[in-house]
Homo-oligomer: A and B are copies of this chain.
């Protein structure tokens, strides 16, 4: 088939760019902080050296990690949320990989998010975006471009929490329902999770998590470099590790972008 041959040639020749949509994974990577009275947190990321060309391995260097499934740039599988617990194909090792590579709609509300860290995306915002860029279609990814990755090297700024909790942008419940009705495969954010910082107080609580996973859709969080993607026309590859009964996974998200 000619299409994949052309694709290979275009990537090799640089006619298509492969954009890295992941942030660095290490001890400095920002992690979610939940209210301690409510829940346990994911533990800190640790990298332990096994050897580095030394008495523990003369010719090789390697490490092992303590790593949460929902750490850094990561994927949320349906089993992550109670609403998605009964999907047999809702785990990282049982989901359908055909769904993971799809056209991506990049909704740029970075200006609004810079002005208001509690910015919430509504159906009206999406309809206006579709009027300009074209309809969002079944099977596609939808990501909110907030340019929040510019804070990813500073956890305090990334989480942006005060006495009233974290203040980061995200979707309304209504917009997630609207996108699910369109048939999207999943929703992605550049913030710590798929939901807004204040989403614990919404109805339902954490609506992106609740509604996406109830409907066997996927979530993506801490995405990077969305400013390098067009509104439409790129392909997003977002594949979790095949963790046994996994609820999610750090990912190396990549986008194919026309030049």
Interface positions of A (Cβ within 8 A of B): 1, 3-8, 10-12, 14, 16-20, 22-28, 34, 38-43, 47, 50-51, 53, 56-70, 72-73, 79-83, 85, 93, 97-98, 100-103, 138-140, 205-206, 209-210, 233-235, 237, 239-252, 254, 256-259
Contacts of A102 in B (CB 8 A): 8, 11-12
Contacts of A66 in B (CB 8 A): 64-66
Q: Residue A4 contacts which of B34, B209, B258 (CB distance < 8 angstroms)?
A: B258
Interface contact A98-B18, CB-CB below 8 Å: yes
Nearest Cβ on chain B to A81's Cβ, whole angstroms = 6
Interface contact B98-A85, CB-CB below 8 Å: no
A25 to B101, CA, bound (A): 21
Give 6 closest A-B pairs by Cβ, nearest first: A26-B244, A1-B258, A8-B103, A239-B252, A40-B56, A64-B68
Nearest Cβ on chain B to A45's Cβ, whole angstroms = 9
Q: A64-B67, A101-B256, A254-B239 are in contact. Are A85 and B16 (CB under 8 A)?
A: no
Q: Residue A251 contacts which of B12, B210, B241, B245 (CB distance < 8 angstroms)?
A: B241
Q: Residue A63 contacts which of B64, B98, B138, B247 (CB distance < 8 angstroms)?
A: B247
Q: Residue A81 contacts which of B17, B22, B59, B79 (CB distance < 8 angstroms)?
A: B59
Interface contact A97-B20, CB-CB below 8 Å: yes
Q: Residue A23 contacts which of B18, B62, B101, B242 (CB distance < 8 angstroms)?
A: B242
Interface contact B40-A101, CB-CB below 8 Å: no
Contacts of A65 in B (CB 8 A): 65-69, 243
Q: Residue A256 contacts which of B4, B10, B26, B80 (CB distance < 8 angstroms)?
A: B4
Q: Considering residues A7, A58, A250, which has the most beta carbons from chain B within 10 angstroms of its beta carbon?
A: A7
Q: Residue A25 contacts which of B43, B50, B244, B252 (CB distance < 8 angstroms)?
A: B244
Q: Residue A61 contacts which of B16, B47, B80 (CB distance < 8 angstroms)?
A: B80
Interface contact B1-A233, CB-CB below 8 Å: yes
Nearest Cβ on chain B to A213's Cβ, whole angstroms = 9
A11 to B252, CA, bound (A): 20
Q: A47-B244, A235-B8, A240-B252 are in contact. Are A205 and B70 (CB under 8 A)?
A: no
